[in-house]
Amino acid sequence: AQSVSQHNHHVILSEAASLELGCNYSYGGTVNLFWYVQYPGQHLQLLLKYFSGDPLVKGIKGFEAEFIKSKFSFNLRKPSVQWSDTAEYFCAVTPFSGGYNKLIFGAGTRLAVHP
């Protein structure tokens, strides 16, 4: 079955530390890839997405992600985190099948940034 794995369930960092959140998916065909973020008390928001082209994708608030097809990975990075980045981060995949964009989510990574 198609699935998405996020390696860390909880991450604690100090401000200015670098961040990398892992994401791997199991699907051999073409995929669209997404990272969504949920800030405390808010709804899921799109952080960035990859459909095709340059495998290094830049999103909002200084986040970027790199698609490595050979590793089935789409890791999220930020060089220097801020307290306001405290949130839950979800990796999601849309496998190309039948033309309908069904999202398959990972379990999420809860990030806490301490000042």
Partner 1 sequence: EAGVAQSPRYKIIEKRQSVAFWCNPISGHATLYWYQQILGQGPKLLIQFQNNGVVDDSQLPKDRFSAERLKGVDSTLKIQPAKLEDSAVYLCASSGGDTQYFGPGTRLTVL
* Interaction between residue 75 and partner 1 (CB under 8 A): no
Q: Which amino acid is at 112?
A: A
| Beta bridge pairs of residue 77 | 20, 64
Nearer to partner 1, 17 or 27 (CB): 27
Nearer to partner 1, 5 or 17 (CB): 5
Nearer to partner 1, 49 or 77 (CB): 49
Name which position in 43, 53, 54, 70 contacts partner 1 (CB under 8 A): 43
The rounded distance, in Å, linking the Cα atoms of 26 and 92 is 11
We find the least distance from the C-beta atom of residue 108 to partner 1, in angstroms, to be 5
Distance in Å from the first CA to the final CA of the chain? 41
Strands in 1-115 per DSSP E: 3-6, 10-14, 19-21, 23-26, 31-38, 45-50, 56-58, 64-68, 73-78, 87-95, 104-105, 109-114
* Interaction between residue 54 and partner 1 (CB under 8 A): no
Nearer to partner 1, 109 or 113 (CB): 109
* Interaction between residue 100 and partner 1 (CB under 8 A): yes
